[in-house]
Amino acid sequence: MAKTARLSGCSDWINLEFVERQRTPPQLMKLGIRLHLAGLSLSNTVRELERFGVQRSRKAVHDWVQKANLQPVDGASPNHVALDETVIRVNDEQYWLYAAVDPDTNKIHHIRLFPTYTTALTEIFLRELREKHDVSDAVFLVDGAKHLQTALRRSGLRFRYERHGNRNSVERVFREVKRRTSLFSNTFSNAQLPTAESWLNAFAVWWNRCRS
C-alpha cells in the first residue's frame, strides 16, 4: 500500500477516550493507529511519527491500538456470508482463525481465534456472530469442511458448498492477515491470545472502513 494511502483518510472512527493525559496530539495518535493497522510495522510507524516531531516507543504505539478497543460495527443483515477458518501462528504458537465475511462488500462481520477447530467451537463462533448480526436468512458459503457444515446445520442456518466464487472474499481477508502475522512476534512479544484478538478486531475495523 502506498504511503500516501496510509496517510490519507478520516480518523473519526478511532475513539481516544482511553487517553488520560495527552503526551501526543490526538490526531497523531490516531494517525499512528491507522498506519500500523494499514500495514506498517511498529518500528516504521514510530519513524513516520518522528517526521511530525513526535518521539514515541514501539510499545506506546502498540498500547494505543490495544487500548482503543476497536470493534467491528454490529447490526448487519447480509444476504450471504463467506465462512471459513485457517491456521495462523501467533508468537510461535498455532491457532485457528475463524472469519465471517460479507462477499458483497468484503467487510468482516466477525473474526476470532481458537486453539483448535471443532464443531463445538464453530457453533460458539456462529452464536457470537448471531448476537452481533442478523444472519438468520443469510446463506453461508462454505467449503467441504465437515465441522463447518455440521455446526451450521445444528444452528439451523442455511449453507451452500462453494469452493471458489464468492468465497474468495474470506480468502482475501486470510491472505492479508497471514501477510501481517509475520509481524505478530515483533508486535506482540510473549503475546496472550486476548492481545492478538484485540489486534485482529482493530484490523477488522480498519479493513471495513477501507471498504465503506
Q: What is the pLDDT along the chain (212 residues), one digit of tens a residue?
A: 444 344 445 667 788 877 766 678 888 999 999 998 888 888 999 999 999 999 999 989 988 988 888 888 899 999 999 999 988 877 778 889 999 999 989 899 999 999 999 999 999 999 999 999 999 999 999 988 999 999 999 999 999 988 766 667 778 888 887 777 655 544 444 567 788 888 889 989 999 988 87
Integer CA distances (angstroms), 172 to 53, 99, 144, 207, in order: 36, 11, 18, 11
Integer CA distances (angstroms), 189 to 20, 42, 91, in order: 25, 12, 7
Q: State the pLDDT at residue 57.
A: 92
Contact 174, 100 (CB under 8 A): no
Integer CA distances (angstroms), 97 to 55, 122, 162, 197, in order: 34, 11, 19, 10
**Backbone phi, psi, residue 122, to 5°:** -65, -40
Q: State the pLDDT at residue 151.
A: 97
pTM of the predicted model over 0.85:
no
Q: Which three cell numbers stand for residue 153?
A: 446445520
Strands (E), the chain: 80-90, 93-101, 108-114, 139-142, 158-161
Domains and CATH numbers, the chain: 3-68 (no CATH), 80-189 (3.30.420.10)
Q: State the pLDDT at residue 190.
A: 55
